[in-house]
Amino acid sequence: MFKKLIAILVLCLAVYLSFDALLPNKISNLDTPLSQFSTDRALVHLAEISKAPHYTGNKENARVRHYIISELEKLGLITETQEGFTNSQWNNFTKPVNILARIKGESNSKALMLLTHYDSNPHSSIGASDAGSGVVTILEGLRAYLAEGNTPKNDIIVCITDAEELGLNGAELFVNKHPWAKDVGLVLNFEARGSGGPSYMLIETNGGNANLMKEFVAANPEYPVANSLAYSIYKMLPNDTDLTVFRRDGNIEGFNFAFIDDHFDYHTANDNYQRLDRNTLEHQGTYLMPLLKHFSQANLTNLKSTEDYIYFNVPFFKTVTYPFSWIIPMLVIAFVAFIALLIYGFKQRQLKGKEIGKGFIAFLLSLLISGLVGFFGWKLILTIYPEYNEILHGFTYNGHTYIWFFVLLTLAISFYVYGKVYKTNNVSSLLVAPLFFWLLICALTAFGLKGASYFIIPVYFGLIALFVLIRQQKPSLIVLAFLCIPVLFIMSPLIKMFPVGLGLKILFVTAILLVLIFGLCLPVLGFLKHKKRWSYGFFTLAIISFFVAHFNSQFTEDSPKPNSLVYALDADKNTAVWATYDNTLDTYTTNFLGETPDKAKAFGNNTFGSKYGTGFSYSKSAPIKNISQPKIEISNDTIIGNLRSYNICIIPQRHVQRIELFSDTTNVFKNFKVNGVKIENKSEEDSAVFNNRKSNRLFCYYVTNDEPLELEISVPKNQETNIELYEASNDLLENELFSIPKRSKDMIPKPFVLNDAIIIKKTISLE
């Protein structure tokens, strides 16, 4: 009994250490030596940067820019700004203002770039984490680096971009139009998609990561959190950052450092100074300082590679790497060892076909039931709590409790199922099925998702455990517990990482992953008696966690409900509506939409650009307000050959932040310029711009300095072209023409959508 208790404690300690190694647990204060990074000193900057929303073009954006410039100049750096119109790959136009500085190195080698952005997301996000945390990490890191008296071999370029949130426009401007771009050999980019948790290292490269990983390991950051599975998944997802532009347009390598936990704060008014996790900011500092020292001296001309590395982090060993070329040999060795152990086990009469068959049934049932409960269980929860759908991020305020709920429920299911097949002498037979499926997964990843091929490491220890079970009648549970440590060290953090990073809809993946881990821990868990009691115990804890989640399901001041409201005036029809993106109306929105609103139809097929493509859900007729309409001037109407060309100038008559243009997908545009920026054809085969559009949307222009929108277009001369213009200002709550009450403290503006806006729709007819 005592040995079983020790073995269980070893497993629990391994799980604890797997998470404890991800983040520093001590915050560097104001008394930290000046030559070292101090989180508390960085927070002084953050308090200034995150006073209010500072999105591209507003006054706070300019204030934050001037503050950053002054702080860089206090460090003795000569700064400059770069400004110009740019178009993003999502056809978002604006005029960003980048902040640049350069520390001269001793040689004429490639430069190291420190990169982040200073704009917040429109219109209500405070931007403390995203990416105020990146700005203050760089400011404090540079201060400490210079205070230590370091002289870099490589130039160090500081680039703090604008309009990242609109479409990476600042990065587009720098990479494609600034002469320094050709000097950059490596980029360290600091980002955020939440307000806490460990910062994940993600590589951006057009080639292999081998040389990058060698240098990263050589730099020896204290708390590396990185794995090649996340690297492989990241490359498949459309989660672009400024660094993506450097890779795509400049073929420049780089590292992203981004934290993703507390995802519910992302792009909201809660992304503020108070909610940024101090340990997370400390973690960013632990990345920057060693990497800055290392790469400011390293050869940055030798980072390209055609070879990829597997890599993952584990406690005590930090980052483990090996080449992709090892994947197949390691897989073959594991399969050969597995087959050999089967033969050996049958010869020793420790493996029995009937018991192995029971093991397969138990493992498959655990996988199937847990996966289905995770998948449909979350759908059921969304049915019970439809208000969760208002959180577009897909991660609720009580999301961590739901992770606990499904983890405990999965453990309850696994213990119950294995309790039906357990015998005192069949643990070795029961282990065969998990090993088989782990090997199958490793075979699939070896060809389809190579970054996950480090899953083979726990399998090797599982094979050793199977050998011990076959070899010894009464094996040491403590020894077997230590053989379970690798799977717990490597895989436990993924249980949390997947739903945090990809949303709670991925909880079924967490459940399946936990069953796989449970399977490799059978050398210990299989010997536990009274599995039904364990099952009932975990089920009881699961029920408790569900009720904890329930009691925390209400929206409060600390976990406010996102909601939305806009006023839209159709200048063509002289009608107006209130509209919302919300599916569950509340006391704020029913003030305007009533208890029985209409299904939104005022905007037809036109959906304003947003991260999740969210459209309006409900609308209600509204009174007509005397809002100044944009002035539209059409000039240079000429016909040359089969083309008719126009110059169109759209001049807002009020302070607006956004102009979005739509035109039917059947309309053809041969040439198109926006404020002098030519829109390029997507490919050489395209004979027109905006070709093969999936929607009517042409582009969005984010207004800066009240500059008009100037268009130069060419269309077929006989085409009747209509362009629908939507002009939006973010002043619905402040406009004197309206009496909009403030949201209660348990509400915030919904992020990712055009919100709290006054919209005017007007059609431009070209005949």
547 and 562 part of one domain:
no
pTM: 0.94
Who's near 356: CB < 8 A, 6+ residues apart?
Answer: 429, 430, 432, 433
In whole angstroms, give the CA distance from residue 536 to residue 447: 40
Tell me, yes or no, whether 21 lies in a domain: no
Instruction: Give 10-residue mean pLDDT values along the chain (767 residues).
Output: 89 97 96 97 98 96 98 97 92 96 94 98 95 97 95 97 96 97 98 96 92 97 95 75 94 96 95 97 98 97 94 96 96 98 95 95 97 97 95 95 98 96 90 98 94 96 97 90 97 95 95 98 93 96 98 96 95 94 93 90 72 87 94 90 92 95 91 90 76 87 94 91 94 94 95 95 90
Return d(Cα 617, Cα 418) in angstroms, integer.
47
Residues 684 and 758 in one domain: yes
Q: Is there a domain that residue 123 lies in?
A: yes
Among residues 532, 551, 570, the one where a domain terminates is: 551
Residue 320 counted as domain residue: no
- Residue 684 confidence (pLDDT): 67
Which residue in 656, 628, 647 sits closest to 754, CA to CA?
Answer: 656
Residues 109 and 224 in one domain: yes
Count: domains in the chain: 3
* Pair 437, 562 in one domain: no
CATH number for the domain that contains residue 162: 3.40.630.10
pLDDT of res. 585 = 94
User: What pLDDT score does 353 carry?
Assistant: 94
Residue 727, SS3 per DSSP: strand
299 and 331 part of one domain: no
DSSP at 450: G
Residue 484 lies in a domain: yes
Residue 22 within a domain = no
Question: pLDDT for 731-744, tens place per residue?
Answer: 999 999 999 999 99
Both structure tokens of 29 = 């204060």
Residue 23 included in any domain: no
Same domain flag for 407 and 463? yes
Are the beta carbons of 168 and 238 closer than 8 angstroms?
no
Residue 78 is part of which domain span?
29-314
Place of tokens 């405990």: 408
Contact 190, 254 (CB under 8 A): no
* Residue (of 78, 67, 82) closest to 135 by Cα position: 67
- Evaluate whether residue 246 is within a structural domain: yes
Q: pLDDT tens across 201-252, in order?
A: 999 998 899 999 999 999 999 999 999 998 888 777 766 899 999 999 999 9
Q: 604 and 588 share a domain?
A: yes
Residue that terminates a domain, selected from 520, 551, 582 = 551
DSSP letters, 289-349, are: HHHHHHHTTS-TTS---S--EEEEEETTTEEEEEEGGGHHHHHHHHHHHHHHHHHHHHHTT
Q: Are residues 165 and 236 in the same domain?
A: yes
Q: b/e map of 315-335 (b: 16 or more CB within 10 Å)?
A: beeebbbbebeebeebbeebb
Domain of 733, CATH number, reads 2.60.40.2410
CA atoms within 13 A on the CB side of 745: 3
How many Cβ atoms from other residues are within 10 Å of residue 70's Cβ? 10
The last residue of a domain, from among 521, 551, 581: 551
Please indicate, yes or no, whether residues 144 and 37 belong to a single structural domain of this protein.
yes
Report pLDDT for 558.
96
The whole-number pLDDT of residue 238 equals: 64
pLDDT (0 to 100) of residue 681: 76
Q: At what angle do helices 242-250 and 169-177 cross, to 10 degrees?
A: 30
Closest residue by Cα to residue 94 from 66, 58, 65, 60: 58
Query: How many C-beta atoms lie closer than 10 Å to residue 660's C-beta?
Result: 24
Looking at the fold, whether 293 and 338 belong to one and the same domain comes out as no
- The one-character DSSP state at 56 is T
Q: What pLDDT is stored for residue 239 in this prediction?
A: 65
Same domain, 726 and 758: yes
Say if residue 208 is in the same domain as residue 337. Answer: no
DSSP string over 488-555: HHHHHHHHHHHHHHH-GGGHHHHHHHHHHHHHHTHHHHTT-S-HHHHHHHHHHHHHHHHHHHHHT-S-
Rounded Cα gap, residues 765 and 753, in angstroms: 28
